[in-house]
Amino acid sequence: MTFSRRVGRLPTYPMAELPAIKRRLIEQGVDVIDVGAGDADFPPPDVAVQAVTRALQDPAMSRYAFQLGLPAFREAAAAYMRRRFGVSVDPFKELHPLLGSKEGIAHMGTALLNPGDVAIVPVPGYAVYQGGTILADAEPFLYNLTPRTDFLLELDEIPADVLQRAKLVYLNYPNNPTAAVAPREYLRRVVAACRKHDLVLAYDNPYCEITFDGYVAPSIFEIPGAMDVAVEFHSLSKSFCMTGWRLGWAVGRPDRIAALARVKNYVDTGAFLAVQTAGAEVLKDAERIAAGYAAQFKARRDAILPALRANGFEVETPRATLYVWVPLPEGLASAAFQKRALEDVGVVTLPGSAFGAGAEGFFRIALTVPTPRLIEATERLGKVLATV
Ligand SMILES: Cc1ncc(COP(=O)(O)O)c(C=O)c1O
């Protein structure tokens, strides 16, 4: 049996093997602490649970959603964009419901890219930027996000011949996994560069509500001219602790949204309407609900940072996201550290190398377990660090 070249080109998905390894360790009696996936233990919003419970009683909610989906969800998402960012979009032409933002990000590649086109992909970064590019038979050009540029992707450092072939650039701030945030001045430069080089900017914004210390993350559409170049992806997963519900939305110019919908027509028939009902209810009160979760992530961040530092890890203070991007001592391979962390002390982390060679030298901790467990994980990791 031969599989498609596309499948052969897909890198191993960073977390694909972790659930099985974790299960094996638990079966062996290991007290595993999993700070690997960005999937917090907080319950979803009450309003979401109540809305979906009510919706399940309505047989109409069990029908196909199709690409139109629930008009009330589109309207609630558009109202949120207006309220929160001052961005006015037509909920039916410039906004589209997604089965989680991952799905839209992946399919945007299919909607935009031809074989031979290049998409500029940050490393470390969400694996779907590369995957969506490869599944469209296009070529990812990897740009390493490092402390040198404050983890910002600088388009003027991309070789001219690559820029010429490039059609798409993926950006994600607040960033997974580095927790970096993007200054507005930077975003203005990016929008100008995209316009100059005729690039579409896929701006992936699932962490915009998980911010701390007074920092407020913008929408790319707050930057003048961005509607000409950008498609923005939002998600209910992280800011509202609804990862498993699979709901998000894309915003962009009508032609780009229509192209995405055209692809989606052939691969899905819309997110479950009952889930869209819940999403609409959550978005009506989004800022308050998200602020509650952000405060809880901040409490975990504030507890783990001193513990990490006390255990020998030199970490910066993240201003956003549920991640801490932890540098390792020079020369210590992140995969080797992760293996020891997993097998010797039962802590699941994500090594930089899982994101690609350009992310070597770091590992990621996700603030997804209660504070005492985070501290316990940090102490165990400190023991590993002391013996490598
Ligand atoms: C940067 C980034 N974008 C998008 C997603 C996808 O989120 P979802 O598909 O759950 O909306 C994730 C999830 O981890 C992420 O980290």
Distance in Å, CA 231 to ligand 1 centroid: 15
b (16+ CB within 10 A) / e for 373-382: bbbbbbebbb
Structure tokens at 216: 């407020």
Q: Which atom of ligand 1 approaches the CA of 235 most closely?
A: 11
Write out pLDDT tens, residues 361-384. 999 999 999 999 999 999 999 999
The answer on pLDDT for 45 being more than 80 is: yes
Question: How does residue 62 score in pLDDT terms, banded at 50, 70 and 90?
Answer: very high
Give the pLDDT score at 12: 84
The answer on pLDDT for 17 being more than 80 is: no
Write out pLDDT tens, residues 222-264. 999 999 999 999 999 999 999 999 999 999 999 999 999 999 9
Mean pLDDT, range 135-155, rounded to an integer: 97
Give the pLDDT score at 16: 74
Instruction: Give the residues surrounding ligand 1 with Cβ less than 6 Å away.
Output: 38, 100-102, 126, 172, 176, 204, 206, 235, 237, 243, 248
Q: What is the average pLDDT score of the chain?
A: 96
The answer on pLDDT for 177 being more than 80 is: yes
What percent of the chain has a predicted confidence (pLDDT) above 70? 100
Mean pLDDT, range 332-358, rounded to an integer: 91
Q: Which residue did the predictor score with more confidence, 223 or 13?
A: 223
Distance in Å, CA 234 to ligand 1 centroid: 9
The answer on pLDDT for 15 being more than 90 is: no
Give dist(CA 134, CA 153) in Å, integer.
Answer: 20
Q: Do the Cβ atoms of 120 and 138 come closer than 8 Å? A: no
Q: Which of 323, 326, 332 is nearest to 312 (CA)?
A: 326
The answer on pLDDT for 19 being more than 90 is: no
Looking at domain 46-285, its CATH class is alpha beta
Dihedral sign for Cα atoms in the order 259, 103, 235, 353: negative
Distance in Å, CA 126 to ligand 1 centroid: 7
Write out pLDDT tens, residues 275-326. 999 999 999 999 999 999 999 999 999 999 999 999 999 999 999 999 999 9
Q: Which atom of ligand 1 approaches the CA of 246 most closely?
A: 10
Structural domain boundaries of the chain?
A: 5-43+288-387, 46-285
| Fold category of 5-43+288-387 in CATH | Aspartate Aminotransferase, domain 1 (3.90.1150)
Which among 39, 96, 102, 203 is the best mutation to test ligand 1's pocket, defined by most ligand atoms within 8 Å of the CB? 102
Q: Which of 276, 251, 227, 247 is nearest to 91 (CA)?
A: 251
Residue nearest to atom 15 of ligand 1 (CA): 126
Distance in Å, CA 178 to ligand 1 centroid: 14
Distance in Å, CA 102 to ligand 1 centroid: 6
Question: How does residue 14 score in pLDDT terms, banded at 50, 70 and 90?
Answer: confident
Q: Which residues pair with 201 in a beta bridge?
A: 169, 230
Q: Which of 285, 251, 270 is nearest to 81 (CA)?
A: 251
Torsion of CA 281, 283, 284, 288, to 10 degrees: 110
Dihedral sign for Cα atoms in the order 336, 337, 339, 345: positive
